[in-house]
Structure 1
């Protein structure tokens, strides 16, 4: 017994016990393995663009490859200015650079948002596979809102109002993702206006995941921030339109009135990923 090896006991946080790897990443790794084995694979999982990163972006990366210093926690100021200008020009949601937070992918920023905000997470279903697991890791309550085929799988204002009326004062974050992963569908202008009206009525914070916005089939993506600027956080990044998912660069753009939330996330960022190059 004296020579018996003693190893540490298995002690995992209850929130992660039994939690599987992200389904999209797991299937991507498996499909890549099968492809390397010479099998013909049709990928219908991970949202990875088959197109190359635009050459001007690649060229700029080469020019700045020597840059090696730590950047500000909230991100490079020139980049934050460019993101703010983009949303003003394209979405009609005008912000300044101080309203923008840069992170190593929008996925990490979503996790930090859920961590620092006190309130329920409301998710229309079907949805992207990582919203809910992030909430479960943190121990946050998830409220599911089932969408219907007759409504093209998009959330209606009536469905949101029904959920909010059950407890009008409860703090909530609603995630809307459009064009949608996994359905590919998007919201019409009138639908966005009605959702914004209800969200404003109940002071719901909207996390508008617009990572696929530049891939709208008709090039006519409309951000809901146009109709609820004071309560909408716009999430975007390079992963989809730019095809640079592996570069890990995501952006959150906040209304100025939510600087308290941005600052709280920046504190978390300073103690986790530090900064994004």
Structure 2
């Protein structure tokens, strides 16, 4: 019966990150730097808000777009942190994580044959949704631009079929981000063109060296901003994300959301409300710790003799394979996991432009990082 299925579904594959992580999970004593999962617990006051929601029977449907109090808090958060202005009643949608937000936004704007420009390497979650819409992902090689999707690169990739440009910054897998000047150049290039920008800003609260800036500050009418509490508040399992978009666009995205999931979890919404109000600065302590880990990891990688891109945000570092290694990034990751019990994600997972690199997550303790990096050093020193 498989031949009767939607061909677009048959063509897509399970995420390479999950696939590889599952492959090495059963190796005894493995040190895993694979999944982008904060190792901090959800803040206690946020958990208590979720418990209270259950005890007070806040377990019914909410408005399709989400509880208005949460939408107001999300709008205020975006304004306070990033200077963005969205009407909570009509321009904010609460979703089941950033993943659903991306899905409903792309399904609203894409048509069969339309093209979506995205940087390579990039998080593998966008392409399957694009293909399910019958649209075409157009990867742009960013290896010679410090892994940044610049205005010049976009200009070269634009066609009369371009419907959307994806700006996923701070980036998974590279950790790089775009400066205000670079965002302004992109906005100037595409302003007035019949296309959208999807800005996946889920790591916005984990920007280390400069305040996060959003393309929506420069190009509000064409921008769809994706965010959420998964990374900022260590709430991955609560599944709360947000779509911020102009009213004339948001009302159509809401229709897709409504028929997809009705609404996000009411209990999780109460916890997210606490996170964005009383916990508006909760990410600061986590960010300090991530910054320490970044410095530790980068110093150790340099000592090992590996070339890497120093991340501006998120909690990943993108590392080039040792020059003496002649196999693929997948082979490298498999061999290192099997021989010295440390797991990283092959760069090829993030498009062909990630080949020759690997992604390492530092969302784990300094002790774990030290243990894994010592194993990595041993593996590399023993390469023929």
TM-score (normalised: structure 2): 0.64
Query: Could you say which residue in structure 1 is the equivalent of 2:98?
Result: 106
State the alpha-carbon separation in 1 of the partners of residues 264 and 202 from structure 2: 18
**Secondary structure at 1:161 match in 2:** helix
Question: Aligned in 2, Cα 1:247/1:27: closer, same or farther, shift over 3 Å?
Answer: farther
Shift of 1:138: 2.3
CA-based RMSD? 1.9
- Paired residues of 1:85 and 1:96 also in contact (CA < 8 A): no
State the alpha-carbon separation in 1 of the partners of residues 148 and 162 from structure 2: 22
- Paired residues of 1:225 and 1:234 also in contact (CA < 8 A): yes
The alignment status of 1:12 with 2:5, answered yes or no, reads: yes
TM-score (normalised: structure 1): 0.87
State the alpha-carbon separation in 1 of the partners of residues 242 and 33 from structure 2: 26
Structure with higher helix content: 2
Unaligned runs of 5+ in 2: 266-384
Query: Could you say which residue in structure 1 is the equivalent of 2:184?
Result: 193
Shift of 1:201: 4.5
Query: Could you say which residue in structure 2 is the equivalent of 1:52?
Result: 41
- Paired residues of 2:117 and 2:154 also in contact (CA < 8 A): no
Query: Could you say which residue in structure 2 is the equivalent of 1:225?
Result: 216
- Paired residues of 1:225 and 1:232 also in contact (CA < 8 A): yes
The alignment status of 1:274 with 2:266, answered yes or no, reads: no
Q: C-alpha offsets along residues 192-250 of structure 1, whole Å, 9 cap, x if unaligned? A: 11111112153431111110010112361111211112221110112112111111111
Please, which moves more after superposition, 73-82 or 12-21?
Answer: 12-21
State the alpha-carbon separation in 2 of the partners of residues 221 and 13 from structure 1: 40
**Secondary structure at 1:16 match in 2:** helix
Shift of 1:30: 4.0
State the alpha-carbon separation in 2 of the partners of residues 22 and 216 from structure 1: 25
- Paired residues of 1:205 and 1:231 also in contact (CA < 8 A): yes
**Secondary structure at 1:271 match in 2:** helix
Please, which moves more after superposition, 155-164 or 69-78?
Answer: 155-164
State the alpha-carbon separation in 1 of the partners of residues 127 and 256 from structure 2: 20
**Secondary structure at 2:198 match in 1:** strand
State the alpha-carbon separation in 2 of the partners of residues 67 and 27 from structure 1: 38
- Paired residues of 1:214 and 1:221 also in contact (CA < 8 A): yes
Shift of 1:265: 2.1
- Paired residues of 1:199 and 1:206 also in contact (CA < 8 A): no
State the alpha-carbon separation in 1 of the partners of residues 156 and 227 from structure 2: 29
The alignment status of 1:140 with 2:135, answered yes or no, reads: yes
Q: State how 1:1-277 maps to structure 2 within 5 Å.
A: 11-31=4-24, 33-34=25-26, 39-65=28-54, 66-97=57-88, 98-117=90-109, 118=111, 119-149=114-144, 151-164=145-158, 166-167=159-160, 170=161, 172-218=163-209, 220-256=211-247, 259=248, 261-277=249-265
Runs (4+) of structure 1 moved beyond 3 Å?
27-31
